[in-house]
Amino acid sequence: MKYFLISLYSLIIFYGNAAYAQTLNPDKSDGLLSSPPSIKEICALPTPAIIEIHTKDKVPVQSKEVYIDAQITIRGETLSDNSDASKNTFATRIRGRGNSTWSMEKKPYRLNLDEARPMLGLPAARNWALLANYADKTMLRNAIALCLGRVMGMEWTPGFRFAELYLNDEYQGLYQLTDHIETGEHRVNIGARKESSVPGDIGFLMEIDTRLDETQWFLGNIFGTPYTIKGNLSPEEAVEAAAFINRMELGFIKKKNAYSSDIQNHPNFINYKDYIELESFVNFYLINEFMKNVDAFRVASTFVYRPWEEKLRFGPLWDFDIAAGNADYYDMEDPHGWWTREISVYVQHALSDPEFNDRIKDRWNVLYARIPELFDFIDSAATGLDEAQKRNFEKWPILDRFVWPNPEIHYTYDKEVAHLKNWLQKRALWIHSELSFNTTQ
């Protein structure tokens, strides 16, 4: 029996890889079809830039709560770039950020510019994050997840660029500059209240977050899901937003056969799809499931937002540095096995809906067909980071030692990247075999 299972899994891998090749070569005999942009094109990354930050009086950044006045300079690929630095120097404030990541040696930071500006080709804004990616020795897991958000057509996914950081003239290593998650025209665009808006039309941005560390928060009435409200809502608007979430949660509670047409046409029937934009929910679920993100729906970093008068969206994606086999608890290092659908009450209840299951398979096939391109992107990104990662690991010599919560040590950057690709390939093949052979989900 053991050898039969091994042979069966080998066949799955063989035909899975064959399926990759088939899906990447559509019939173009009519001359009308054209290939979509490749993932490398969609998520093209320039060579890491240089960011220099000088705090006032060289005060060290030691707090997540207190901002320090500073000057920031954005340069090209090297510090010897002869471009006029004065044109790329402006005022900012800087403080620490993150939760478990703030306790690590290489610190992540939050920037608050004096005025909105574009950064390294990303749209203008005042608030930015500098991710350290200390626990992720490839420094690519966040980039991969955010790239997949774009590939899968999510409404908004944080933009990002890599840059080497100098703080008060001391080299800090390779960082990932990224959009801060907040509402705004070029961020999470929820629009604004319209004259025709009535109670119940409220727009908002929230995070499912067990820390409850925002001023406004509540627990969902049905599942006790912890929601923190991002941005400022009036007390009345906060009540409206909580009421919307409670109605949405109520829509997940179904009896057997609740999705039959007779029941759905009943005037008192509440359907979660009346409150959730289904494709955003499916895409968000699949990317988190594929990456086996330990925090998704469980601790924090699960965002939802609702544009005024519209349905709830799941997203944007955030916080994947210990995803994709990079945590040593809850069997996260194993590329097999469901995770997100086991931990999320929303996904568990939605799985009783045939339409949700159909959309999972449809969207998974889109993602699965592009896995080879994803590996090309990873190779390209790793090559682009090659010189910078060497300097980073000279500053932080951790490739040969344990950093929480790494399950394994691979000793070189190239082997870390190879392990990540191998894990993702096994994960993709396992999910594909489950969705292909298990018609009842």
What are the structure tokens assigned to 410, written together?
A: 């691979």
How far is it, in rounded angstroms, from Cα 101 to Cα 133?
8
Q: Where are the domains of the chain?
A: 47-179
378 band by pLDDT with thresholds 50, 70 and 90: very high
159 band by pLDDT with thresholds 50, 70 and 90 = very high
What CA–CA distance (Å, rounded) separates 350 from 345?
Answer: 8
What is the rounded distance in angstroms from the CA atom of residue 15 to the CA atom of residue 244?
Answer: 45
Percent of the chain at pLDDT exceeding 90: 78
Confidence of residue 254 (pLDDT cuts 50, 70, 90): low
Are 322 and 400 contacting, i.e. CB atoms less than 8 angstroms apart? no
Cβ neighbors of 294 (< 8 A, separation 6 or more) are 322, 323, 327, 329, 330, 332, 339
Beta-bridged to residue 402, according to DSSP, are none
**In whole angstroms, what is the distance from residue 388 CA to residue 173 CA?**
8
Q: What distance in Å separates the CA atoms of residue 99 and residue 112, rounded to the nearest whole number?
A: 19
How far apart are alpha carbons 157 and 145 in whole angstroms?
10
3-state secondary structure of 277: coil
Which pLDDT value is given to residue 99? 87
**Predicted pLDDT at 83:** 57
| pLDDT, tens digit, 9 for 90 and up, residues 255-287 | 545 555 544 444 455 899 999 999 999 999 999
- In whole angstroms, what is the distance from residue 119 CA to residue 381 CA? 19
pLDDT in tens, 29-75: 444 556 789 999 999 999 999 999 999 999 999 999 999 999 999 98
Q: Calculate the average pLDDT of the chain.
A: 88
